[in-house]
Structure 1
Amino acid sequence: MNDKELAKKIYDLVGGSENIDSAMHCATRLRVMVRDKSKVKIKEIENLPKVKGSFFNAGQYQIILGTGLVDKVYDEFVPLLKGSSSSGEPTKKKFSFKQSIRVFGDVFVPIIPVLVATGLFIGLRGLLTQNAVLGLFGLTTQDVPTQLLKFTQILTDTAFSFLPALVCWSTFKIFGGTPVLGIVLGLMLVNPILPNAYDVAQHKAIALIFFNFLKVTGYQGSVLPAFFTGIVASKFEKWLKKVIPDSLDLILRSFFTLLFGLVVALFVLGPIFHGVEEWVLVAVSALIEMPFGIGGFLYGCFGQLLGILGIHHILNLLEINMLAQFHWDYLNPIGTCGNIAEAGVVLAVAIKTASNKMKQIAYPLALSAALGITEPAVFGVSLRLVRPFVCSMIAGGIGGFFASLFHLKATGMGLTGIPGTLLT
């Protein structure tokens, strides 16, 4: 069965156009928003070739296909939706906490590759500029050309310097706004005219004072101000589409969207959520810094549950802020322990099982988990069998305990497992 046939089968078994509101995908799963769960033929879908499992979460039916394949199946699935003749209106669903977390994750998924690459650049620069490495070639840090260091700084600093632009762009795209307006609005939040918030905190710069009491700074490296600004401004733009005459839309919509977005960001949302970010970061840092590796054990053990609940992407905020402020990520090494633990238990299942089908599934999924993608392994093997998943939690907790005890830290995020060791 080729990718097109598989996409058509899934489309039919999920219920076709009459039962599908929308579809998207993450690194491993095809996510279909359905109207009626009872119309989804779960067993038949899970028995399809290349399908490794499925589950419902936050109103979505998520089908585990694995990396690479999910992109190809999604590309074949979307034309089926566009070609449907259904005229039914999407059913309205209550916006739950889990759905809000899923949306938060959807915003950050497109940004992760950039941050992964940036993290690798930071790690490689740190490695190649160490005296121990340079000494192998008879060099010291003094021998490294200034121009080369500036070149590497472009690679390592750009993504974090303009992070609000990336976040605002993705948020506009998810919430139905015009993405290019999101980019420009995000860039406004880091305009050089605005003093850097971290420089202000270190008394290297002075905040702008408005109305004799409101301090305004830039939001370089911040996430929440750009995220919520993107939500509010994109909703405002969609409202403008309804009230502005077509003849004036090109002139007025972008004008009022950017003006409204900047005012709300600088004077309302920015000051509020920048403070929230700092307090949340302090709280998580306190957990990781708990004595005797306790915090690492707790996160390493129970952190895997976040993936099952579909809320693990909320940790992107914390990791991004850690990297932006301290240039270190304390969560990544602990998360790597959980991924390797998952790979280990699935590999054990592959070796010990008498089922040839389970062997065929478990071996590649163990490799996938070792490379940092655990969802197929969790939903395809360990969680189904329960005991292996419990063992992976225990092993992940033990690994997290030692990672915290020895104060392991990473120069980037997004990569875990074996590739993630390059960041540590």
Structure 2
Amino acid sequence: MDIRQTAEQIAEAVGSENIAAATHCVTRLRFALNDESKVDKEKLENIDAVKGSFSTNGQFQVVIGQGTVDKVYNELVDVTGIGTSTKEDIKNAAEKKLNPLQKAVKTLADIFIPILPAIVTAGLLMGINNILTGPGIFYDGKSFVDVNTAWKDFADMINVIANTAFAFLPALIGWSAVKKFGGNPLLGIVLGLMLVHPSLLNAWDYGKALEAGKVPHWNLFGLEIQKVGYQGQVLPVLLASYVLAKMEVFLKKKIPDAFQLLIVAPVALLVTGFLSFIVIGPITFGIANWLTDGLVGIFDHFAAVGGLIYGGVYALLVVTGMHHTFLAVDLQLIGSKGGTFLWPMLALSNIAQGSAALAMMFLSKDEKVKGLSFTSAISAYLGITEPALFGVNLRFRFPFICAIIGSAIAGVFITVNKVMASSIGVGGIPGFLSIFPDKWGPFFIGMAIAIVVPFVLTYLFGRVKKVN
């Protein structure tokens, strides 16, 4: 590959004068463009080094590949004279073109994506714990640790490590949210930990205490405030983080530098803390539970319809970038109900897109498309669907539709069979580790549907259409 020539070809296809800013990640060039309609996508897709392109959250991204993208980027900077940019520069430039809904979705994505590695890691470790402690996996009616008692403490230690991210989830969200809203992320951590302080009633025991009339209270000059924690809750810490960050920014503008260390953080945290326990927490806790109960009720009474819609629509959410908003819903379901019925459909949707892309490897006679189809299918099977979605399936359209059909059918099957995940994990074939072991059977059947149906439909339609 001629790196210099590749950079020149990309600059020509995108338009040097059309580039407001550019950077790169591990595999992709990321552009903030003045006008995406000016991109010559056909010319771009025909460049040997380009494995696909797509637009999301106001950014135009070109898939190059690990180990090569940084070299192409350096040459691109030299060829166009645009200068280097950071990811924040690109995000800020791209955000100006977004409408209010897109900005809201992007805000949630910017908050939850940074904490995703901790959540996914915790999910995988919980999956290992589920295998060791789940009855009936290795022995009839008994778990592995029941029979092999020497492993019991080993499993218990894994459980402690895995549960930490979920037990202190508000601290993770507080750190990321306060940082996003312009405040000190360390104060966000303190805020999140404050909401799950050991002296507060555990949120998971709140229902029992309320029923028994034994909810502890603070008495603030005649005003009774419930001493309740917000373990596993998302909305309370999100709103509290916004208040904390904005209050901190306001105080920094009003207070002289010499006094900021003594006044800004203590006042901002104290006021936000009182507001959190008196107003923000109770209101958002009630809203979150109302929304959760409503969603659970819909899937309880109309499971097939819910599975059909969410299983089919999820890939469209990925295309628009709105799928990140449902991470908050999954976390809320896990915190409130002990598991999520949405995330298993995510895993099957990823597999379905991979299967459709794999079928294109057998259909296409273009060696570049063959190679991209195979590598993107493997990536989708391991939970990363963007290469399959934007590099193959949306490019030919019918594989994308076939994948949606397969995902919707699989979604109906696993939803009707009450498949749930105890945590968020890797959204592909390894996703079974996050599923409750007693539901592995229907989940594996759903997985088989997500593999076979999109592949067969894509292949048959492609043969009729005579794809080259």
Could you tell me the TM-score, scaled by structure 2's length?
0.77
Provide the secondary structure at the position in 2 that maps to 1:289. Answer: helix
How many angstroms does 1:412 deviate by? 1.8
* Matches for 1:108-119 after TM superposition, within 5 Å: 108-119=112-123
Match of 2:421 among 406, 410, 423: 410
2:355 counterpart of 1:344 = yes
How many angstroms does 1:365 deviate by? 0.8
Aligned to 1:105: 109
Which of these two proteins has the greater Rg computed from alpha carbons? 2
Distance 1:4 1:146, change over 3 A: farther
Distance 1:391 1:147, change over 3 A: closer
Cα RMSD, aligned residues only: 3.7
Match for 1:277: what amino acid?
Answer: A
Aligned to 1:179: 185
Query: Conserved in 2, the CA contact under 8 Å of 1:53 and 1:380?
Result: yes
- 1:138 and 1:303 map into 2 onto residues whose CA distance is 35
Aligned to 1:282: 293
- 2:300 and 2:64 map into 1 onto residues whose CA distance is 35
Query: Conserved in 2, the CA contact under 8 Å of 1:168 and 1:182?
Result: yes
Distance 1:91 1:375, change over 3 A: closer
Provide the secondary structure at the position in 2 that maps to 1:300. Answer: helix
Match of 1:316 among 315, 323, 327: 327
Query: Conserved in 2, the CA contact under 8 Å of 1:130 and 1:141?
Result: no
- 1:74 and 1:257 map into 2 onto residues whose CA distance is 46
2:378 counterpart of 1:379 = no
Query: Conserved in 2, the CA contact under 8 Å of 1:28 and 1:375?
Result: no
- 1:91 and 1:335 map into 2 onto residues whose CA distance is 27
Aligned to 1:359: 370
How many angstroms does 1:81 deviate by? 2.0
How many angstroms does 1:40 deviate by? 6.6
Query: Conserved in 2, the CA contact under 8 Å of 1:28 and 1:376?
Result: no
Match for 1:153: what amino acid?
Answer: N
2:219 counterpart of 1:219 = no
* Matches for 1:90-169 after TM superposition, within 5 Å: 96-132=100-136, 135=139, 140=146, 143=149, 147-148=153-154, 150-169=156-175
- 2:3 and 2:216 map into 1 onto residues whose CA distance is 55
Per-residue CA deviations over 1:276-318 (Å, capped at 9, x if unaligned) read 2112222222333244622212211112211111110111112
Match for 2:382: what amino acid?
Answer: L
Aligned length: 415
The share of aligned pairs that are identical, in percent, is: 31
Uncovered stretches (5+) of structure 2, i.e. residues with no partner: 87-91, 436-468
Provide the secondary structure at the position in 1 that maps to 2:200. Answer: coil
Match for 1:96: what amino acid?
Answer: P
How many angstroms does 1:351 deviate by? 0.9
How many angstroms does 1:422 deviate by? 1.9
How many angstroms does 1:39 deviate by? 9.3
Per-residue CA deviations over 1:84-121 (Å, capped at 9, x if unaligned) read xxxx9999667511211111011111111211121222
Aligned to 2:215: 206
- 2:290 and 2:385 map into 1 onto residues whose CA distance is 30
Provide the secondary structure at the position in 2 that maps to 1:80. Answer: coil
Provide the secondary structure at the position in 2 that maps to 1:19. Answer: strand
- 2:68 and 2:335 map into 1 onto residues whose CA distance is 31
Query: Conserved in 1, the CA contact under 8 Å of 2:340 and 2:422?
Result: yes
Match of 1:399 among 389, 406, 410: 410
Distance 1:165 1:138, change over 3 A: closer
- 2:333 and 2:398 map into 1 onto residues whose CA distance is 34
Per-residue CA deviations over 1:215-234 (Å, capped at 9, x if unaligned) read 34111111111112112211
Could you tell me the TM-score, scaled by structure 1's length?
0.84
- 2:114 and 2:201 map into 1 onto residues whose CA distance is 28
Provide the secondary structure at the position in 2 that maps to 1:250. Answer: helix
Query: Conserved in 2, the CA contact under 8 Å of 1:322 and 1:329?
Result: yes
Query: Conserved in 1, the CA contact under 8 Å of 2:132 and 2:145?
Result: no
- 1:213 and 1:327 map into 2 onto residues whose CA distance is 29
